[in-house]
Amino acid sequence: MTSPRSLHSPSIRPLILIAALAGLALANHALAQAKEGQPPAPKQPAPGKTAVTTDADLPVHTYKIEGKASDFFLSDKPFKDFTAKVKADIESDIAKYDIQDRTTLQGYYGVLQMIALLDGRLEEGAALVEKIRDLEQKESKKLMTGQTFTAYAAAKKAGATDKAAMDKTFKDTLRKNVSALPWDVVREDVTAAKGRAEMMSKELIIGQIKGGLDPIVEKAGGELSSDFARGLVSMRAMTDVLLPLQPAVAEVFTGIIGANSKKMTDNWTAKLVTLSENDKGTPVVVCIWDSGVDTSLFTGQLYVNPKEQANGKDDDGNGFIDDVNGIAFDLESNRTPELLHATKELKSPLALVESNTKGMSDVQANVDSPEAAALKKYMSGLKSDEVKSFIEDLGLYGNYSHGTHVAGIAAAGNPFARLLPCRLTFDYHTIPLLTPTEEYSRRTAKSYADAVTYMKAAGVRVVNMSWGGSFKDIEEALEKKGVGKTPEERAAVAKKLFDIEKDGLEAAMMSAPEILFVVAAGNGDNDNAFVQFIPSGFNLPNMITVGAVDRSGKATGFTTFGKNVKMYANGYEVESYVPGGKKFKYSGTSMASPNVANLAAKLITLNPKLTPKQTIDMMFKGADPMEGHSELLVINPKKSIGLSGQN
């Protein structure tokens, strides 16, 4: 929706067709190193520069575009002139501002690298690769940064005019360099890059521009802001230079994966604890504050409101109709009785979208399944005018399935869990249906307060929140809807609306000190404080923010970080239910968060007297240090429950 809400799981997100998808370094970020209780001191701005400490402080530029963005994108001189202006503005911003965020700097250097690639200035591009790599602290990303660029530069330097010779040099260089890297470290990045290479097409790129940027440019009278402009430049580099390389990338990475086909070390499963009805447990109400839940899958594990009946009436007079098992809010933050998001707006049959969603997840995880094969075939036949519908269908299915998947993880192995769905409705459309307004933001803030009031009355002890948003989300939504005559005006409106919703959500959570809120950090591989991500960036005594590791215990490439992200759990290829009862594997901090909520609920089940702080302390005491980052901790359910004197 147009408030700062977005589902976290990258498994069900549309493709982002920028240079990073080809293995080049665009917006790769560092893993926070701050130790618990010792946040880094504020950095003094460089002499003569203005400090930038949040993304709201970044300068915004606008660019004039003649005609449709999709036509302009394919032009020659007009696009070259446009690219030159984008380059000049980025270089000027870097010179004038002390941007105190690795994410943003890497992103800026990444776009400059793409421009150098477009212009054939490979030495300059190589220097930019090194700048991006120097900013990187995640070992896997540092190692993989610029691998495609390096191989391409080697092929160009070889001077072969024959395409076959060029391809051979490119593949040989890429194969040699990536094969030399430690497989256990780069596995995730190589696998994901292979999957993206297999799904890439010009029609897909043009289709996203038609569906996403054409309407924006039309509403803005031919103008485009710098955020979208930088993405457009990267897409052009992808189309002109990198797209022809993707079959070779897929081939090389398929071979490397095959040569390292050993299974990932599973350091996760043995740590899990399954309770039985014979254990001395007390029922615990766990709220799944998410996109909706298929309650038919959790018979016996649902919260039940004894004063309500499913009869179309508000029997208990609490303002919610038919809230037998939980509550829900529609796209406009109005109350609705439906606990599961409808699928009637799908443009393709539900079975096809479900298959495509699973296929997308399987391709990204290098799972050779019928759904993966079908997805590749389906996407290869997509025309640009069909891309928008394809992406929106995946987004709608995400709304339909996300909350149920999260609920299954939160309740696993705990017969005492009583799930209470609290459904939010997220806008899956490329261009939002609703225009952000103060009235709407205040209604959204009130829905947060009403939801938490309901949770308190229902005796909720643990809440999982695998969603969030930022100031930028609202600012971009305003641009998509043509609001604001200038970037400055739009930013001012966005800040006002964002603050209303942020303050409302924070106040609602603070009003329930007896409830533990477990929050997904996010999947942007960025700093949740700099991007003002909520609720991930809140610092509340009754809240814990969760990052994602894989089953081996290594931080995933997508996990957002921040000085308050000190607890991690498995968020890679986590299996759980989707509506209807099938099981899919999704990845994301959306999946890591309910793993922590699951442990918290089990601890409270076994000791109902635990406070949120005591529960958090118990999880920290039993946690294991993350490999390579001893100051960051990965939950160990078996240890934590053992420390509690139970099980």
Query: What are the CA-CA distances from residue 555 to residues 150, 241, 406, 496, 592 (Å)?
Result: 26, 31, 20, 35, 11
Identify whether 334 is part of a domain: yes
Query: What's the whole-number average pLDDT of the chain?
Result: 89
| Residue 430, in any domain of the structure | yes
Do 255 and 289 lie in a common domain? no
Which structural domain range is residue 65 located in? 52-259
User: What count of other Cβ atoms lies within 10 Å of the Cβ of residue 260?
Assistant: 13
**Mean per-residue pLDDT, 293-303:** 97
Give how many domains the chain has, as a whole number: 2
- Mean pLDDT, residues 604-631 taken together: 94
Could you identify the residue written with the tokens 């766990």?
286
Q: Are residues 196 and 323 in the same domain?
A: no
Decide: helix, strand or coil at residue 413.
coil
Q: How confident is the model at residue 591 (pLDDT cuts 50, 70, 90)?
A: very high
Which 3 state secondary structure label does DSSP give 333?
A: coil
Sign of CA dihedral 448, 299, 354, 186: positive
Lowest-confidence segment of 32-36, 311-315, 322-326 by average pLDDT: 32-36
pLDDT level of residue 311 (50, 70, 90 thresholds):
very high
The answer as to whether 268 is a domain residue is no
Query: What's the pLDDT tens digit per position in 63-113?
Result: 999 999 999 999 999 999 999 999 999 999 999 999 988 888 999 999 999
Of 285, 515, 323, 247, which is closest to residue 411 (Cα–Cα)? Answer: 285
Reported confidence tier of residue 630, pLDDT bands at 50, 70, 90: confident
Residues 243 and 295 in one domain: no
Distances (CA, A) of 49 to 45, 94, 99, 196, 315: 6, 9, 9, 39, 62
Kindly state whether residues 429 and 545 are assigned to the same domain: yes
Query: What percentage of residues in the chain have a pLDDT greater than 70?
Result: 92
Burial class (CB in 10 A: 0-12, 13-18, 19+), 383: exposed
Which pLDDT band, with edges at 50, 70 and 90, does 28 fall under?
very low
Per-residue pLDDT, 45: 62
The SS3 call for residue 518 is strand
Residue 78: burial class (beta carbons within 10 Å; 0-12, 13-18, 19+): middle
Q: Is residue 641 part of a domain?
A: no
**Domain membership flag for residue 321:** yes
Lowest mean pLDDT among 39-43, 424-428, 522-526: 39-43
The CATH number assigned to the domain holding 425 equals 3.40.50.200
Same domain, 202 and 333: no
Residues 336 and 342: their CA atoms lie apart, in Å, by 12
Q: What is the pLDDT of residues 229-246, one digit of tens each?
A: 999 999 999 999 999 999
> Band of the pLDDT at 41, cuts 50, 70, 90?
very low
Cβ atoms within 10 Å, residue 40: 10
More confident residue, 55 or 604: 604
Say what the pLDDT of residue 16 is.
31
Q: Is the domain of 100 the same as that of 203?
A: yes
The pLDDT, as a whole number, for residue 242 is 94
d(CA 646, CA 638): 10
Name which residue leads in pLDDT, 23 or 343: 343
| Residue 244 belongs to some domain of the structure | yes
554 within some domain: yes
3-state secondary structure of 467: strand
pLDDT classification of 645: cutoffs 50, 70, 90: low
Name the packing angle between helices 102-119 and 77-96 (round to 10°).
150
CA-nearest of 135, 171, 326, 344 to 246 is 171
Quickly state the pLDDT bin for 547 (edges 50, 70, 90): very high
Is residue 44 in some structural domain? no
Q: Are residues 427 and 459 in the same domain?
A: yes
Q: Which of 234, 212, 214, 216 is nearest to 225 (CA)?
A: 216
Higher pLDDT, 306 or 138: 306
Q: Do residues 127 and 232 share a domain?
A: yes
Query: Across the chain, which distance is largest between two alpha carbons, in Å?
Result: 79
CA angle 546, 528, 636 (to 5 degrees): 15
The pLDDT assigned to 527 comes to 74
pLDDT in tens, 391-435: 999 999 999 999 999 999 999 999 999 999 999 999 999 999 999
Same-domain pairing of 298 and 198: no
The residues, ordered by sequence, that sit 6+ positions from 585 with a Cβ below 8 Å of its Cβ are 11, 361, 365, 573, 574, 575
What pLDDT was estimated at residue 55? Answer: 82
Instruction: Say whether both 209 and 292 belong to one domain.
Output: no
- Select the more confidently predicted residue: 364 or 351: 351
Report the amino acid identity of residue 473: D
Does 243 share its domain with 337?
no
Whether residues 436 and 522 share a domain: the answer is yes
pLDDT at 22: 35
pLDDT range class, residue 533, cuts 50, 70, 90: confident
d(CA 158, CA 155): 5
* pLDDT recorded at residue 27: 28
Provide CB contacts within 8 A for 543, sequence distance 6+: 509, 516, 517, 518, 519, 535
